[in-house]
Each structure stands twice: as C-alpha cells, then as structure tokens.
Chains A and B, each alone.
Chain A
Amino acid sequence: MGIDEQAIAEDLGARVRALLDEHDPTSSDPRDFLAARFDAGLAWVHFPRGSGGLELPRSFQSQVEADLAAAGAPPGGGGRNGIGMGMAAPTIAAFGSAEQQRKFLRPLFTGEHIYCQLFSEPGAGSDLAGVATRAVRDGDDWIVNGQKVWTSGAQNAQMAILVARTDPTVPKHQGLTYFVCDMTVGGVDVRPLRQITGEAEFNEVFLTDVRVPDANRLGAVGGGWKVATTTLNNERVAIGSMLGVTRETGMIGKVTEAWRAEPQLRNPAMHDELMRLWVEAEVARLTGLRLRQRLTAGQPGPEGAGMKVTFARLAQAISGFEIELHPESGLRYDDWTMRQPEVVDFTGREPGYRYLRARGNSIEGGTSEILRNTIAERILGLPPEHRVDKDIAYKDLDKGAAR
C-alpha cells in the first residue's frame, strides 16, 4: 500500500468511526443508520460525492463494509434489496444525472425503495434486445404497455428498472430506452409465477398504460441497450460472487458438513468425487477473489460472465452429488407449497430444493450458452454469430411464437 492509499485508508477509518460514534448501529433504526451512512459518503465510496460516495477507488469499499459489519451495522439496502444494490445502483451511478442520483440512490440504500427488474419478456429471453413492451411519449411522461416475466421480488418492490421499446422503426438494439419505474402506480399488475421447486420466487408483471415521467429515464432515448448492458454485467458479477468469500461456504459447505457429521454416508468412490468438487469450489472462490482484486475501479466488464458460468456448473454438480450422498433422505422433499420467498435460501433448505433450484442458475441472468458467446465475442474477439435481424427495423422482424 502506497502513502496515498495509506492516507485514504486512515481517513476512511476515521469517517467510519465518526459515523459509528454518532449513530450507534445497535440502537438506531436501521433506515436512519443507513441514511446517515449514505450522507457520510460511505454507501459506495467509489460513487460521486452527494450520491453516497467519496469518489475514491472501488478497492476501498471492502474495508468500509468489513468495519461496519464488525460493528453490527445493518447491510446496505436493508438486507433485502439485492437487485437495487447489485444492479440498479451501479447503473444509476453510471448513467443517472446528478439529480436522478440524489433522488433514487438514497432511498435505495436505506431500503425504503426495494427494486425489481423489468427486463425479460415471454418473447425476449436470451434475445433481450427483442423486448416488445412499448413506451410512447406523452408530454412529460411515457405511457408503458407490455408484459414482463421472471421478475423476482416484484410483489414487494416499490421501484423497478425497466427496458422498453420507444422506437419500433429502427433495428432492435437502437430502439430501446431505460427507465426507473414506480411499481406503486396504477396499471402495474403483479402475478406470481410458480417454478419447478414449488415456490413462486418470480412474477409476471403486466403493464397497462403505466405512466413513467421522462425525468425517470436513464441515458438517452434509444440508448437503453448500453444502459442495460451495464446492469447485466453487474448482475453477472453479483451472481458470480455468490461463490462466497471464505472457504467451504455455500453449497459445498452443506456437503462437507454432512460428510463430516455422518460417517455412514462415506464411500471411497464418492470421496474422490467430493474432493474434485471441493477443489473446483475452492478454485472458483479464488478466481472470484482474483476478479475482485482486478476490479478495483470502474464498471465490471464482461469478465463476470465467466464466473457466472462456473457458478452455475458447480451449483448443479454439487447439488446433484448431494442428493446421491443421502441415499434415503435424498428421496424426500421439504415443501411443495407455493411460497413467495423474498430471497433465494439456497442453504437453508433440503438437498432436493437445492438440486431443483440450481437448474435455473444456468438460465437466469444469461444462459450459460449465451454467456459463452459473450466471452468468445467480447473478450476473445472471435467473429460474432450471424445475425439476420441486425439491420432490420424491429417492426419488420419475424418474432415467431412467444414463450
């Protein structure tokens, strides 16, 4: 650490202590504490001043997080705002005006505004740029009509990040615009979407004449694809970082816990498989750590796609192995009722749940197949896939059957 970095670290330490002195995290209301943390520029130290940051390199954030967590402070976003913290906030910081940052980031960070993501549609999955939801200008507002799907947390969300088509007469990537949308206004209809685990973690969201002020637009009209790419890159980093910071966290931890606690489960063939998975999980953890060490500043690029592919493959392999490890209890399932969980509880439930839920890991947030294209084209510079739709106006495309 250089002299400058040392000085910055000391200054940050002093700011954290001052915050903790004035607002005891154990006795203050969590939302008040988070508001004070935001105002002190300690929400995201790499964000602009006034927007929860101090314009410092991103690398200093982890120390702030560690110090505050050690003092028992509530997590940013209030602990149930993953999409807000992981995807909306970095996008708003990158593309929002100073006024938009002031307006949106503070309630996002305090947890007053829970966010959801209105991106995927029945006809636009991997081909996200093919979204059909229309936004039509009406004075200072936009009127939005369409159907979104795979929206987790929509039933609890106050706000959404939304990609909609504002110009169908140009090729699909050029006619998109990105908005922050109030989920509590009229015309927003949220319906749970049940999945193979039995629960309804996601929703379908029907938008009927929903009014979104133009003041809530992020980036230029027609510039929505670029803004959405920032969100998706952050999403992949967020999913990839689910691999855990310490050894044997997450799914592999459940397996090693069972192996140690129940000697009757052990057999030599499974032991080598266990150790293969252990090594892969540990190397994935180290790869994620190395990626974070490289990502000291700026926006994550497409590199997070690699971590996401790895995370999905490992989650599926480990959860499949875990069922086989429990020859009898692996036959059982813990709960088929339709629950609407706020967060995915991967480790709190039984192996059968983990196995089924992990199937989605290679589909959500970019399928592993699409991400391999992303890596090959955007990182390795290999020729892009042939795109028959690239230069055709969106309205003239063959859209096939909606799924």
Chain B
Amino acid sequence: MTDLLYSDTEEALRDSVRRLFADKCPPESVMRAYGPAPHDFSEVWHALAADLGMAGLLVPEQLGGAGAGAREAAVVMEEIGRAVAPVPFLSSAVLATVALLESGETETVKGLAAGSLTAALALPLSSAPDDAVAGVAVGADGLTGRVTSVAGASEADVLVVPVTGRDGLELHTVSRDAAGVDVSPVLTLDMTRPLGNVEFSGAASSRVDAAPAEAAVRTALETGAALLASEQLGIAQWCFDTTLAYVKQRKQFGRAIGSYQAIKHRLADLWIEVNSAAAAARYAADTAARRDGAAIGAAVAQAYCSGAAVHAAEECVQLHGGIGMTWEYPAHLYLKRAKSDQLAFGTAYRHRTRLADLVGLPVS
C-alpha cells in the first residue's frame, strides 16, 4: 500500500535540513553563485553530507550509510528545492551513489556515505532514464572522450564514468585530479547546480562494475528522475508560499492585491497544482523506495512536477510585479532552477513518450 504522507522521522529529518539551509545558505548567499568568480559552497555541502549524514541516506548500513531510502532522500531534495541550495546532493548522493551501489561497488561508496568523498556520474544532466548510454572509450592508454554538461563534476573528487567496453557498458572510477582528466565549468542558466564539461585524454581508471553497468546507470537515472520531482515540489512550495505572503501584504488601490479575484483564483489554482505535485512526488519516492512500479512513478512525477515547478516560479515572478523581475529579489533563483530542472533527466515530453510505452498506449 502506497503511503503518500510523511512519517515523523521524515519530518524530523526535514527540520534539521531546513535549519541548516536557513543558517548556511540564505538567498543572499545563494546569489553568489552568479558572481564573477565561482563561489565555494563546499562548507554547506560538508555540513549536509557529513555532519547531518545525508550523503549516506541511500547507502546500506553495512557500507557505512544510514540505510534509509528514497522517501527520506526525497525529503532532503524538497528542502534543497525550497532553498535552491547549491549542493551536489543529487549528483553525488543520488546519481553517483546509486550507480556504484547498483553495480556492486563497495569501496568508494563508503567514502561517499561518510561524506569524505564527493562523486559525479559522467553523463549529461539531460540524460533520460531510457536513453541509450553513450560511454566514453577505453584503450591501452586509458579513458578517452568528452562528456558535456555533467552535474557536480567540478565539486567531485571522483568521477563515476560509464565506459563502452568490448562486451558492453562498464563502470569506471577515476579521480577528478588524475592526469588526463580535465573538467571545465559551463556558464549555465541555473548557476546553483554547476555543470562541467569533462574531457578524458588517456586517464588511468579502475573498472568497478561487478553487476551489469547498463542496468545500474539506468536505475541511477530513474532514481534521479524520481527524486528530482521532490526538488521541483520544494521549488513550487517556496514560490507558492512566498507569493501568497506577498499578495496579502502588497497594497494597491487601497487594498491588498490578494483581495482581487483575478489574483485569488490564480493562487487557488496554484494551490491545487502544488498539492497535486506533492502527491505525484511522494508517489515517485514511495514507489522508488519499494521498487514497485518505480518506472511509472518516476515518469508520471517528472511529466507533472517539472511543469508545476516552472508554473509556480513564473506565477511568483508575475504576481510580485516589478520586484519579481529584479536581480535583488530571489524569485529568479527559483525560476532558473525550475526551468533547468525541466530538462534534467529528460523533458516532460520525453517522460510522456516513455510512459506511453510503460502503460501500453502506443503512438501508432
């Protein structure tokens, strides 16, 4: 039986993450991601990953993790969305961690679970769970090839690299500082989730997959898609809450703008949409945790929540009027994250197409 609510443990976890972000990355601090020199947010990440132990949520206890699951990780993602927190939780604690765990790797994951290591999965952030995985080449002189738009590449100590081997896909690890590895940061629409282009030119790597790497990568992307819906929910909730507070307080023509029906009805519709996004996001997290119907859960949630987050952010800008358009006001941080999140792990169009296959509604 699916449970779409939050347990007391999940609520307690949310409180601790929310307090951390309120303390360590308020909007004026997140804004620095858009400064001329890249700002270092590693202190926030280490507090989240190591001090609060969130990096190990998806890692079993025998490997040093918390032995929790996707439901708990989803709550962290909600809070990341709510704060547009510039932390590599999705890229390291979800994508790289799940790819390694699913392929049977047990060493690097211990470091990841402890928060002493940070990793990134060397695939474009836009990779959908059903994309054919194009691994980089491997030869006598190591890895060669280029992977663009890799989330968290610059913040990573270790790159987890899908590699096209002689007998199919393999999974390798390589230190980001190793010879023959070059990571160049990309100027992005959403600077709070840094992307990097990774160039391998004869990098010595270790092959780590004990289990089929293709399935491991697919599960990682699918878990990423499922949990991204919770980040999108968090974005939508912040935008909704902030806009609601603003229309109650902002007065024009001698009355609160939230007293006009044109505004009230937009907020009522947005409330309905955010509630619906909550149900879809919790369903994706719950089915991912139970590994029962997870592919459909993730596709439905991405098809719905990606648009809901963008709509909430767009409404936030519009209903704030002029101030919503300023660099100073944080609404744009949410709009940029929401719009970029629409592309992560494939657009809603892609997820609808995939869903059609999963539920047997062919296009022709």
Residues of A within 8 A of B (CB): 248, 256, 259-260, 263, 266-268, 271-272, 274-276, 278-280, 282-284, 286-287, 289-290, 293-294, 306, 309-310, 369, 371-373, 375-377, 379-385
Main secondary structure of the interface of A (DSSP, over half): helix
Name the segment of B59-67, B201-209, B348-356 touching the other chain: B348-356
Q: Check: B269 CB closer than 8 A to any chain A CB.
A: yes
Contact string against A for B residues 309-351, beta-carbon threshold 8 Å, 1 for contact and 0 otherwise: 0000000000000000000000000000000000000000100
> Given the complex of chains A and B, what is the CA–CA distance between A21 and B296 in angstroms?
41
Interchain Cβ contacts under 8 Å between A and B, 9 examples = A271-B356, A278-B359, A306-B275, A309-B272, A372-B264, A373-B264, A375-B271, A383-B256, A385-B261
| Known A263-B364, A375-B268: A383·B259 in contact at CB below 8 Å | yes
> Given the complex of chains A and B, what is the CA–CA distance between A283 and B355 in angstroms?
13
> Given the complex of chains A and B, what is the CA–CA distance between A294 and B6 in angstroms?
10
Query: Which of B252-295 touch A at CB < 8 Å?
Result: 255-256, 258-259, 261, 263-265, 267-269, 271-272, 275-280, 282-283
Question: Number of B residues contacting the other chain (C-beta, 8 Å)?
Answer: 42
Interface contact B275-A260, CB-CB below 8 Å: no
Q: Whole-angstrom distance from the CB of B272 to the nearest CB of chain A?
A: 4
Q: Whole-angstrom distance from the CB of B111 to the nearest CB of chain A?
A: 37
> Given the complex of chains A and B, what is the CA–CA distance between A283 and B307 in angstroms?
13
Select which of B261, B282, B356 is within 8 A of A275 by beta carbon: B356
| Known A290-B278, A293-B5: A382·B272 in contact at CB below 8 Å | no
What residues on A are CB-neighbors of B248 within 8 Å? 381-383
* Residue with the greatest number of chain B CB neighbours at <10 A, chosen from A267, A279, A373: A279
Interface contact B352-A272, CB-CB below 8 Å: yes
> Given the complex of chains A and B, what is the CA–CA distance between A379 and B267 in angstroms?
11
Q: Whole-angstrom distance from the CB of B113 to the nearest CB of chain A?
A: 30
Other A-B pairs beyond A282-B300, A382-B248, 9, CB < 8 Å: A266-B363, A279-B304, A279-B352, A286-B4, A286-B276, A289-B279, A380-B267, A382-B244, A385-B261
Give the number of A-B contacts (CB < 8 Å).
Answer: 122
Interface contact B300-A279, CB-CB below 8 Å: yes
What residues on A are CB-neighbors of B278 within 8 Å? 287, 290
What residues on B are CB-neighbors of A260 within 8 Å? 360-361
Q: Whole-angstrom distance from the CB of A257 to the nearest CB of chain B?
A: 11
| Known A272-B349, A276-B352: A380·B361 in contact at CB below 8 Å | no
Select which of A272, A275, A283, A372 is within 8 A of B269 by beta carbon: A372
* Residue with the greatest number of chain A CB neighbours at <10 A, chosen from B3, B269, B355, B364: B269
What residues on B are CB-neighbors of A385 within 8 Å? 261
Interface contact A266-B362, CB-CB below 8 Å: yes
What residues on B are CB-neighbors of A268 within 8 Å? 363-364
Q: Check: B47 CB closer than 8 A to any chain A CB.
A: no
Interface contact A286-B279, CB-CB below 8 Å: yes
Interface contact A376-B264, CB-CB below 8 Å: yes
Q: Check: B2 CB closer than 8 A to any chain A CB.
A: yes
> Given the complex of chains A and B, what is the CA–CA distance between A357 and B265 in angstroms?
25
Whose C-beta in chain A lies nearest to the C-beta of B3?
A293
Q: Check: B52 CB closer than 8 A to any chain A CB.
A: no
Q: Whole-angstrom distance from the CB of B306 to the nearest CB of chain A?
A: 11
Q: Whole-angstrom distance from the CB of A20 to the nearest CB of chain B?
A: 23
Interface contact B283-A286, CB-CB below 8 Å: yes
Main secondary structure of the interface of B (DSSP, over half): helix
Q: Check: B303 CB closer than 8 A to any chain A CB.
A: yes
Q: Whole-angstrom distance from the CB of A289 to the nearest CB of chain B?
A: 6
| Across the A-B interface, the 8 shortest Cβ-Cβ residue pairs | A383-B259, A376-B264, A275-B352, A372-B268, A375-B268, A290-B4, A286-B279, A287-B279
Interface contact A266-B364, CB-CB below 8 Å: yes
What residues on A are CB-neighbors of B271 within 8 Å? 306, 375, 379-380
> Given the complex of chains A and B, what is the CA–CA distance between A250 and B275 in angstroms?
21
Q: Whole-angstrom distance from the CB of B239 to the nearest CB of chain A?
A: 14
Q: Whole-angstrom distance from the CB of A267 to the nearest CB of chain B?
A: 8
Interface contact B261-A373, CB-CB below 8 Å: yes
Interface contact B265-A382, CB-CB below 8 Å: no
Q: Whole-angstrom distance from the CB of B259 to the nearest CB of chain A?
A: 4
What residues on B are CB-neighbors of A379 within 8 Å? 271
Select which of B258, B272, B280, B349 is within 8 A of A310 by beta carbon: B272
Whose C-beta in chain B lies nearest to the C-beta of A377?
B264
> Given the complex of chains A and B, what is the CA–CA distance between A60 and B305 in angstroms?
31
> Given the complex of chains A and B, what is the CA–CA distance between A383 and B261 in angstroms?
10
Select which of B269, B272, B279, B360 is within 8 A of A290 by beta carbon: B279
| Known A276-B352, A375-B271, A381-B248: A290·B5 in contact at CB below 8 Å | yes
Interface contact B268-A310, CB-CB below 8 Å: no
Query: Which of B195-243 touch A at CB < 8 Å?
Result: none
Interface contact A287-B276, CB-CB below 8 Å: yes
What residues on B are CB-neighbors of A256 within 8 Å? 359, 361
* Residue with the greatest number of chain B CB neighbours at <10 A, chosen from A274, A283, A385: A283
Whose C-beta in chain B lies nearest to the C-beta of A288?
B279
> Given the complex of chains A and B, what is the CA–CA distance between A256 and B359 in angstroms?
10
Interface contact A382-B283, CB-CB below 8 Å: no
What residues on A are CB-neighbors of B147 within 8 Å? none
What residues on A are CB-neighbors of B4 within 8 Å? 286, 289-290, 293
Whose C-beta in chain B lies nearest to the C-beta of A271?
B363
What residues on B are CB-neighbors of A290 within 8 Å? 4-5, 275, 278-279, 282
Whose C-beta in chain A lies nearest to the C-beta of B286?
A286
* Residue with the greatest number of chain B CB neighbours at <10 A, chosen from A275, A293, A310, A384: A275
Interface contact B279-A375, CB-CB below 8 Å: no
> Given the complex of chains A and B, what is the CA–CA distance between A259 and B304 in angstroms?
22
Q: Check: B247 CB closer than 8 A to any chain A CB.
A: yes
What residues on A are CB-neighbors of B359 within 8 Å? 248, 256, 278
> Given the complex of chains A and B, what is the CA–CA distance between A54 and B346 in angstroms?
51
> Given the complex of chains A and B, what is the CA–CA distance between A123 and B218 in angstroms?
61
What residues on A are CB-neighbors of B275 within 8 Å? 287, 290, 306
What residues on A are CB-neighbors of B304 within 8 Å? 279-280, 283
> Given the complex of chains A and B, what is the CA–CA distance between A108 and B360 in angstroms?
43
Whose C-beta in chain A lies nearest to the C-beta of B305?
A283
What residues on B are CB-neighbors of A375 within 8 Å? 268, 271-272
Q: Whole-angstrom distance from the CB of A46 to the nearest CB of chain B?
A: 19
